[in-house]
Every structure is written in C-alpha cells, then in structure tokens.
Amino acid sequence: MMYKIQTNATGTRSIDISDEHLQTIDEYQLFRDLIDSNGYVDEQVLDKLKLNTRAMLESEAGKDKRLLDLCLDVIYHANMKAFGLQQLVLLYINWKNSHNDNAEDTGE
C-alpha cells in the first residue's frame, strides 16, 4: 500500500511512502528516542535521523537494501523537511496502531 505525506505547510510538496518503508522504520526502530520530551520535530531532529541512518548504512547492518531505499526515497528526499518528518511520524504511529489491531484480530 502507498501513502502520501505532505512535506510542507502549504501542501505543494509531498513524498510517497510504502508499507515497506514503514516496516523498515519499525524494524530498525528509527524513531525510538529520536524526538525529545518536548515533542517538537525540527530540523535538528531530522538531522539526527539522517546521522543515525547514515551510521547504520556504514555498519554491517547497512547491507540491507530496504534501509538504503528508505534513505534514498524518504529520509534524504529533497522535499523532506521537519514538517514532513512530523507527518511521517504521525503516519507511522497510525500504521503501527492499525497493524497491532490487525494482529490482535487474527490472534497473532
């Protein structure tokens, strides 16, 4: 399934997000401890995410094509700004909640 997130306040820019992108975020727990207790997503948070994923790509774990695709398609996308990251985090939370609901419904 494909999702579209808005990456600026005026809605003129967006990025397509796939289930695989969201699964990769989940697998690598990329949002864990990323956002400070104030809850604000700013450019520093985006820079931190970029540094974290770059370090993963440079390590042995970085041999994962899905992580590289996530970086190229989403995290390092030219349109990705703090606003877009905030939208991505919200999408991820909704996606995660819906997948948890489905797992409970099927008894997994």
Secondary structure string (H, E, C) spanning 29-70: CCCCCCCCCCCCCCHHHHHHHHHHHHHHHHCHHHHCHHHHHH
Per-residue model confidence as pLDDT tens digits over 20-51:
999 999 999 999 999 888 888 999 999 999 99
The predicted pLDDT at position 6 comes to: 97
The predicted pLDDT at position 81 comes to: 96
pTM: 0.89
Q: Which helix (H) or strand (E) is 98 found in, with range?
A: helix 82-106
- Of the candidates 103, 50, 40, the one whose C-alpha atom is nearest the C-alpha of residue 77 is 50
pLDDT of residue 108 exceeding 60: no
1 SS3 class: coil
**Other C-beta atoms lying within 10 Å of the C-beta of residue 15:** 20
The predicted pLDDT at position 59 comes to: 87
In the structure, what pLDDT confidence band is assigned to residue 103 with cuts at 50, 70 and 90?
low
Strand partners, 4: 16
- Of the candidates 80, 105, 17, 56, the one whose C-alpha atom is nearest the C-alpha of residue 65 is 56
Per-residue model confidence as pLDDT tens digits over 44-100:
999 999 999 999 999 875 578 999 999 999 999 999 999 999 999 999 999 999 988
